[in-house]
Amino acid sequence: MKSTSMSGSIVKRVQNNKALMLFLKLAISIIILYFVARNIDWTKTFDFLKNANPWLLIMCVFLLLALLYLRALRWRYLARSFKAQISFKESFYQNTVSLAFANATPARFGEAIKIKFLKEQSKITYFRAILIAIFEKTADFAILLFCLLLGCVLIFFGESFSWLVLVIFVSYCGLLIVSIVFIKPFFKIAFKLAKRFKKRIDPFFIPQKNYALILGISLLSWFILIGQTYTISEAIDANISFSIFIFLIPLMALSGLFPLSLGGIGIRDALTVFLLARFGLALEQALLISVLYTFINYLIPVFIGIYLYLQRKQPAN
């Protein structure tokens, strides 16, 4: 009885801590949004929205669908590279539903759901499924950093320190090429080290061609997202360079990693408004770009993911 009451109190404490963390994150998001929005002229903001080009905004939604397609394709190639057989349809389902849960839940546990789906559908171990998810995030982050450095090269071109930025960018490109060339030896070393801690590990390797293809799909995905955000700016008649978005989008993506606010809301908006205002854009247009970006890339995938989830659940029920 004592152990039952003790475990019950632990569960209650964890739930209370989660509720407290959710409240704190929500409060931080609201406070940041207040400081972002307090100098905004809402009449101007609604005028920009009212006069926005609807066809360009519709094009942004189609670009989102292209993004979902490419991410599903990457997940399938990656899973098959690690000998986890899934169809493209299943890959699209896993990616889109996990993205919906990641965007809709405070804990952002979409990756955990994707790992669970992959393990159940392809009958692989949790260890391998987790490794596939980690590898996908690592490849994504590598290309994200490439885009950020490229944006720095384009924006700071002509500055006194631009040579240093260029050297860092070229060095990083060389590092990416080295990682493609030596991907198999890297895995061999990693498994040798892993066997010291866990003897029963079935070694597997990603083919060099598949790794290069995954990096290529990631690069195309990020540039579609950059192009989509640029199209949003064009829809509201914001006169701003494409190269600025090459620099901005990686920072917006990285801002979502900070666990201070609810899903990056507030931090992402503050960053977008601050940087775009520094480049001469009106505060109202900068905020509108951030809001439309969030609506298209965060809310629409939630609706699509929930629909797919319920469609699969319905026959089971």
pLDDT in tens, the chain (317 residues): 544 454 455 444 544 566 676 677 777 778 877 777 787 888 888 888 899 999 999 999 999 999 999 999 999 988 888 788 888 999 899 889 888 888 776 556 777 888 888 888 888 878 788 888 888 888 899 999 999 999 999 988 877 778 899 999 999 999 999 888 887 777 666 666 655 555 555 556 677 788 889 999 999 999 999 999 999 999 998 888 899 999 999 988 887 766 566 666 777 888 888 888 888 888 889 989 988 998 999 889 989 998 998 887 765 55
**pLDDT value of position 10:** 44
**Left (φ > 0), alpha (ψ -120 to 50) or beta: where does 123 sit?**
left
Taking the C-alpha atoms of residue 81 and residue 64, their distance in angstroms, rounded to an integer, is 26
Taking the C-alpha atoms of residue 49 and residue 300, their distance in angstroms, rounded to an integer, is 18
**pLDDT value of position 14:** 44
**Left (φ > 0), alpha (ψ -120 to 50) or beta: where does 239 sit?**
beta
> Among residues 72, 62, 135, 124, which one has the least CA distance to residue 305?
72
> Among residues 87, 65, 68, 63, which one has the least CA distance to residue 76?
87
| Contact predicate 214/139, CB 8 Å | yes
Taking the C-alpha atoms of residue 187 and residue 7, their distance in angstroms, rounded to an integer, is 41
Give the number of other Cβ atoms within 10 Å of residue 187's Cβ: 15
| Contact predicate 184/208, CB 8 Å | yes
The alpha carbon of residue 178 and the mean position of all alpha carbons in its chain are separated, in whole angstroms, by: 25
DSSP 125: -
- 32's enclosing H/E stretch is helix 2-37
| Contact predicate 227/149, CB 8 Å | no
**pLDDT value of position 150:** 94
| Contact predicate 154/243, CB 8 Å | yes
**pLDDT value of position 107:** 55
| Contact predicate 278/292, CB 8 Å | no
The two tokens of residue 201 are: 């590990």
**pLDDT value of position 259:** 59
**pLDDT value of position 134:** 86
| Contact predicate 184/205, CB 8 Å | yes
| Contact predicate 98/121, CB 8 Å | no
Taking the C-alpha atoms of residue 120 and residue 249, their distance in angstroms, rounded to an integer, is 34
**pLDDT value of position 131:** 82
Which residue ranges make up each domain of the chain? 1-29, 50-316
DSSP 232: H
Q: Cα dist. 232→46, 150, 174, 279 in Å?
A: 15, 21, 33, 17
Residue 270 identity (one-letter amino acid): A
- Determine the Cα angle at 144 with ends 140 and 145, to 5°: 120
Q: Cα dist. 3→6, 10, 11, 16, 17 in Å?
A: 5, 10, 12, 20, 21
